A and B are shown apart, each in its own frame.
Chain A
Amino acid sequence: MRWIWIDKFCEFESGVRGVAVKNVSLAEELLKDHFPGYPVFPPTLMIEGMAQTAGILVGQARGFRENVILAKIRNASFDDYAHPGDQIRYEANIDSIDEHAAATSGEIFIVTQQATPDRETSPDREATPDRKIGQVDLMFSHVNERNAPEGLPEHNFVFTPEFMRLFEAIGSSGNASHGDRS
């Protein structure tokens, strides 16, 4: 099993901001147990979804030269559940970044209007803002061969080809806007 908890990267502004979405499906095995008779997407996995959204943003800002490791959850708060059929939107921003670490802040929304081809241009989009259900602020460490703790693999185990395909797909997505990716 590959641990990818975002479905699509949709907006990207290098070194600044990244947006990804995740569709919650009743077909996901874990919802059978979380909870029996009341399927909701676990907030812990929303932290992971935000970590992947923010992590790819941080990794790209440093040219994917290092592994980017989630080092600290600065804050995580949730006001509501995400149910099957919901689309979760992760919006991550880089607050601080230096040669050792990065701090990000992130908001989690439920998309109130399912994505359609003309969603970006839909005149009533402003009238139905997505519903915020959580806030997740994180810290990442940049780990390279010089400062890696013993036992970590030497190759880049975070930004695998499989994970990078999500990022590469931004440009080919019809309604995605993206900023400078150089």
Chain B
Amino acid sequence: MNEQPGGATRIACAQGFWGDWLEAPARQVTGGPIDYLMMDYLAEVTMSILQKQRSRDRSLGYATDFVVAMERLLPEIVNRSIRVTANAGGVNPRSCAEAVIAAARKLGLRGKVKVGVVTGDDIMTRLDDLIARGHPFANLDTGEPLSGVRDAVQSANAYLGAWPVVEALGRGANIIVTGRVTDTGLTLGPMIHEFGWKEHDWDRLAAGTVAGHIIECGAQCSGGNCLKDWRSIRGLEDPGYPIVEAASDGSFVVTKHPNTGGRVSVATVTEQLVYEMGDPRAYITPDCIADFTTIRLEQRGVDRVVVRDIRGRPATDSLKVSIAYAAGYKAVGTLVYAWPEAMDKAARADAILRARLQRLGLKFEEVLTEFVGANATHGRLAGKPNPDIAEVQLRVGVRAQERAPVERFSREIAPLVLNGPPSVTGFAGGRPKVEEIVAYWPALIAKSEIRPVVEILEA
């Protein structure tokens, strides 16, 4: 793998979430040399969406975008000896892997594709047994035990780290498909495999974890969503997704392919480092605890940022568990009111709507009104709305345990167009959609209860 001078291993991120840019994988594979292609598909709620899909069809429950990308790119990936790490398996890694194998055979790549399947994260069927044996799955935010919502639980997955990915690479897999492996483990795994890092190399494991954190959101570290000097960040019609050039001592360079848009600078990388950060001294993963207050960044050339000096500490004895549970229903309705006195008309419409909901005797856990264009994102910090504002979008959301009141709410928006305040439009989308809420319950489980499983399938 290490054909580059200095022995750097190049790990390229091609997806930052399920729904990210479909062109990114092809750009990363063909835009220049890389050793690994990393794709992160799993956000907190993605697992429950996948669980819902699997409950309707046993062969689903994984990120189908990944299989489409592999159908398109497997010949290039094989030709260039690139290895792929992706948590595209969702709640059904085995089916995802089989779909990749089928694609490989169809492309005439028999004997050239070995898929490593990482499972063992799914503890849904063991949940009652684990609770009975004294694991409360207390909510990390509220402290409440899971028993209160146990009947509503739809999926439960422990976060696995980098080591099962390392095992799959060691057994010769060139495509690694996982269930709930951490975003960072998909980047750290290849580094451990390449450099032979050990389980107690805490500083290096922390360095690989920080590298994973920087690139796990795709272009969000390479010029996308960057506030500093945003006007001067050009070429985002063809953004360069990030690449880490890792060295065996734990230092690495963040960069992107030549002739791509966006930017890799201390500012773009720093904005990503602080994204979704808690206590910076303790970024906890299954593999280690990384100390973000030790990270040194330095611009060294155009679109190249050196990252070094990262310190780590021993991992904890627990794994985080992501539990999804049904939590009622919600709907959001919108209408647009135009000048003159747009804000007053929207506010009057809101008052009328609320009075009607009340007269109908509908009970909601929450009713939230926002005026988009005036104060939806910054509230009172935005100041008084301009009385001459061209238009305001009235946006009303409701949430309830039962479906019926939410359903009825969804029928109370349209009538306002004819029987409410004037100068109203923007109802082309039809009735608000009633959504089932699948909420997220973070908890911990003892590491000793979870055993990752690695299987190898051959095309």
- Decide whether A and B are members of one complex: no
- Write the residues of chain B forming the contact surface with A, with a CB cutoff of 8 angstroms: none
**B-binding residues in A (CB < 8 A):** none
